[in-house]
C-alpha cells in the first residue's frame, strides 16, 4: 500500500508573525452596503405603543439606525407614543392627513387576554393601518407583532427585544424601498410614461 503523507507546515502564531515582521491574517470587513439617495427629502412618522415599551423600543432604535444608513436623517423622523397598539391607527390617520409625512411606521406588541382577544386586536390594527394607507395614499408600515406565546420572564423579554430589533431593520428596509419605488412611479406618472 502506497501512502503519501503531506507535510504540514508549522503555523506561526499572530505574535510570532508580528515579531518576524509579518502581519496577522485579519479578515476584511465587507464594505458597507451602498443605498440610493432620495430625490426629494423624506419625512417619516414613527408611532410606537407604550405597552411593553422596553421591548418595542428596540424596533424604533434599529429603525432609526437603518434609516440613517439609507440617507434619512434622524431629524427627519418624528416619534410619537400611544398607550397601546389599538390606538395606533387613529394616530396614523391623523398624521397621514397632515400631508407632512411621506411614510408612517407603526410598532407595537399585542399580548395577553387570551388567544382570541390579542389576535382580534392585532388583526383589527393591521386592517385599520391598511385602510389609512389606501385612503390617504401615504404608505403605512407595520411592526405590530402578536406572538403566539409571551410570558413575563427574562428569557421571553430578551428574545422579543432581539426580535423587535430585527423587525426594526426589516421595516426600515421596506419603508426605504417603497419610498424609492413611489418616487420612481410618481415621476413616471408625471412624465406620462405610466
Active site includes 43?
Answer: no
Q: What angle do CA 161, 164, 166 make, to 5 degrees?
A: 115
Q: Which residues pair with 48 in a beta bridge?
A: 81, 107
Contact between 165 and 63 (Cβ < 8 Å):
no
Classify 170 as helix, strand or coil: helix
Contact between 121 and 110 (Cβ < 8 Å):
yes
Burial of 73 (0-12, 13-18, 19+ CB in 10 A): exposed
Q: 117, 135, 184, 186: which is the annotated catalytic residue?
A: 117
Residue 99: Cβ within 10 Å count: 10
Catalytically active residues are 117
Amino acid at each position: 500500500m502506497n501512502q503519501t503523507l503531506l507535510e504540514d507546515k508549522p503555523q506561526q502564531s499572530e505574535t510570532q508573525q508580528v515579531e518576524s515582521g509579518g502581519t496577522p491574517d485579519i479578515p476584511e470587513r465587507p464594505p458597507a452596503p451602498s443605498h440610493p439617495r432620495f430625490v426629494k427629502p423624506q419625512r417619516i412618522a414613527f408611532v410606537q405603543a407604550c405597552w411593553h415599551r422596553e421591548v418595542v423600543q428596540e424596533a424604533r432604535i434599529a429603525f432609526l439606525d437603518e434609516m440613517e444608513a439609507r440617507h434619512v436623517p434622524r431629524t427627519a423622523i418624528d416619534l410619537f407614543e400611544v398607550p397601546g397598539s389599538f390606538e395606533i391607527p387613529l394616530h396614523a390617520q391623523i398624521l397621514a392627513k397632515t400631508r407632512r409625512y411621506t411614510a408612517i411606521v407603526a410598532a407595537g406588541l399585542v399580548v395577553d387576554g387570551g388567544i382570541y382577544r390579542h389576535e382580534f386586536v392585532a388583526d383589527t390594527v393591521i386592517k385599520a393601518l391598511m385602510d389609512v394607507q389606501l385612503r390617504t395614499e401615504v404608505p403605512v408600515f407595520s411592526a405590530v407583532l402578536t406572538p403566539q406565546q409571551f410570558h413575563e420572564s427574562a428569557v421571553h423579554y430578551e428574545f422579543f427585544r432581539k426580535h423587535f430589533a430585527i423587525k426594526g431593520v426589516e421595516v426600515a428596509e421596506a419603508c426605504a424601498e417603497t419610498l424609492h419605488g413611489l418616487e420612481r412611479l410618481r415621476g413616471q406618472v408625471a412624465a406620462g410614461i405610466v
